[in-house]
A = this chain, B = another copy of it.
Amino acid sequence: MSLTAITPANRSASKAKVVRGLLEGLLEGKWHGGDRFTESLGADAFGVSRTPVREALLDLQALGLVELRRNCGAIIHPFGEEDLREIYAVRSLLEVEATRLAASQIAAEEVESLIEAFEEIQSSGGTDLNWKFDQKLHLLIAECSGNRRLAAEIARYSTLVQTMREIVGARTHDIHSASADEHLEILRALRQRNPDTAAKAMRDHLRQASDSAIAAMLEIRNH
């Protein structure tokens, strides 16, 4: 069972570039009211053709970040605290359910190998590694939920959050990485195969993540 199976991976670098650029603008608060953003505009702005811009906009529409209208360009919704909270609310909805499902059927060895990786990272203590572990944990849980659709949805939000993290990381001085305690809580509950405890641990973890994401965005906007 390969973890990379459900990640869209880095097929199409141009599209990723556009998504990232647009997301930067959203986090900065660059767009107000119902600004219009046409495909050609994006193509010029990011130095790519219309095709990847178009695909990026379709993705962003599916995430509820822009509204696409025929022959009218993308209407960018103003982005604020509330929107970030909404994103994490959906993510929480999906991941808490996945955690509940995974807890009852995850293979013992998978959890053990994760705990090992976790302890190793703890001792070395790199922020980057911590995030990589975070991603690995969330992806594993998604896959172990046994619901491929759920895993696909989680993957979509995972790449969104990951991209936002990278943007924030490049601008602020690493405000705060995912808490090790929260991860440990989740791992323990998974090992005990306790769905409710695991779900609660995941919910708490994401609440924290939501708060720090909002803080990071405000940090960016005050500079």
Contacts and interface: CB of A to CB of B under 8 A. Distances in A.
Interface in A70-122: 70, 77, 83, 86-87, 89-90, 93-94, 97
Contacts of A149: 63-64, 83, 86-87, 89-90
A223 interface: no
A141 to B, nearest CB: 15
Among A62, A63, A97, A149: residue with most chain B CB under 10 A: A149
A162 B58 CA distance: 20
Given A61-B8, A148-B64, A90 B153 contact: yes
Interface of A: 5, 8-9, 11, 55, 58, 61-64, 67-68, 70, 77, 83, 86-87, 89-90, 93-94, 97, 147-153, 156
Given A55-B55, A58-B58, A63 B152 contact: yes
A151 B62 CA distance: 10
Given A83-B148, A93-B93, 6 more contacts: A11-B70, A62-B156, A64-B149, A86-B147, A89-B149, A93-B150
A90 B8 CA distance: 20
Contacts of A62: 62, 152, 156
A11 B5 CA distance: 31
The interface residues of chain A, by DSSP majority, are classed as: helix
Contacts of A8: 61, 68
Contacts of A87: 149
Contacts of A148: 64, 77, 83, 86
A12 B153 CA distance: 23
Contacts of A86: 147-150
Given A55-B55, A55-B58, A86-B147, A152 B64 contact: yes
A61 B156 CA distance: 10
8 contacts: A5-B67, A55-B55, A62-B156, A86-B148, A87-B149, A90-B150, A90-B153, A93-B94
A153 B152 contact: no
A70 B77 CA distance: 32
Nearest to A5: B67
